[in-house]
Amino acid sequence: MSARKPYVGGNWKMNLNGQQAVDLASALADGFSAGDQVQASVFPPFPYLEKVGKVFAAKNSPIQLGAQNFYHQPNGAYTGEVSLDMLKDVGASVMLVGHSERRHVLGETDTLINDKVLAALEAGLEVILCIGEKIEQREADKTDHINTGQLGYGLAGVSDAQMARVTIAYEPVWAIGTGKTATSQDAQNTHKVIRQALGFLYNDDIANAVRIQYGGSCKPSNAQELLAQTDIDGGLIGGAALKPEDFLAILQAAADNAPVPA
Ligand code: PGA
């Protein structure tokens, strides 16, 4: 347990239709009341951002609206892309950057990821920077090498002050959507290394303040044990974020692990 406020994000990926997105948002807004103890955000597909934002606003929910992707240029001839101003306009306040599906399915490079991190922070938004090793990298004993590398590239040029708006999501690629979860001890070990790397890149105060989420088949049955680890400060949830009862149970597990107010 730490003094860091737990943070749980729900990445809806390319799922749901408009009505399902509204129904899910509505159930989450009704069921989540621990906003003082836990930070929560969801990342709906672009076409549903505004609808979901309206549900949260109408129900006065503390759940933040996030975007799964964006392009870092302000405007112009970038067919198919969406700018930060457009996303702010529909109420998004947090950006997911470097998700493994964008790195490995859509081919995003560390350079592009860094451009995006810098642009989102420059625009005053919050960022969740995702990092994580593939199975062959893990088997070759490269887990720490890959994660600290992606961390350093992703954060290049990010100031100490901007780090207050950055969360790291450690998502072992082999655990995403596969049902395979890192053991809580393996995840804790990697989170600890990531925190040490933040200390090296910045300083101990920043390393101790940054939340590091775990992602990869996190579900109600394993959330409690993962979130109880010293350096695991929340989760980035895919599959289980689509079921209100599951996501709410993970939010509850995070609240159970929140620091007790002094
Ligand atoms: P998962 O996805 O929970 O379905 O494994 C996590 C993620 O991709 O953020």
**Surface-to-core class of residue 184, CB atoms within 10 Å of its CB (0-12 exposed, 13-18 middle, 19+ buried):** middle
User: How far apart are the C-alpha atoms of 226 and 230, rounded to whole Å?
Assistant: 9
Whole-number Å distance, alpha carbon 236 to ligand 1 midpoint, is 7
pLDDT in tens, 109-142: 999 999 999 999 999 999 999 999 999 999 999 9
Six-digit token string for 254: 């995070």
Please state, rounded to an integer, the average pLDDT across all residues of the chain. 96
Cβ distance 237 to 11 under 8 Å? yes
Question: For position 262, what pLDDT does the model report?
Answer: 54
Helices (H) and strands (E) in the chain, counts: 11, 8
Q: Which atom of ligand 1 is nearest to the CA of 239?
A: 4
pLDDT greater than 50 at residue 1: no
pLDDT greater than 60 at residue 91: yes
Q: Say which amino acid occupies 229.
A: Q
Residue 133 CB less than 6 A away from ligand 1: no
Residue 11 CB less than 6 A away from ligand 1: yes
Residue 242 CB less than 6 A away from ligand 1: no
Residue 234 CB less than 6 A away from ligand 1: no
Q: Say which amino acid occupies 56.
A: F
Pairing relationship of beta strands 212-215 and 234-237 according to DSSP bridges = parallel
pLDDT greater than 60 at residue 2: no
In sequence order, the β-bridge partners of residue 66 are: 94
Q: What is the DSSP letter of 130?
A: E
Whole-number Å distance, alpha carbon 76 to ligand 1 midpoint, is 32
pTM value is 0.97
Catalytic site residue 99?
yes
Whole-number Å distance, alpha carbon 223 to ligand 1 midpoint, is 13
Residue 237 CB less than 6 A away from ligand 1: yes
Catalytic residue among 72, 99, 108, 133: 99
pLDDT greater than 80 at residue 217: yes
In sequence order, the β-bridge partners of residue 94 are: 66, 126
CA 96 distance to own-chain centroid? 6
Q: What is the DSSP letter of 251?
A: H
Q: Which atom of ligand 1 is nearest to the CA of 237?
A: 3
pLDDT in tens, 220-243: 999 999 999 999 999 999 999 999
User: How far apart are the C-alpha atoms of 218 and 231, rounded to whole Å?
Assistant: 16
Question: For position 179, what pLDDT does the model report?
Answer: 84
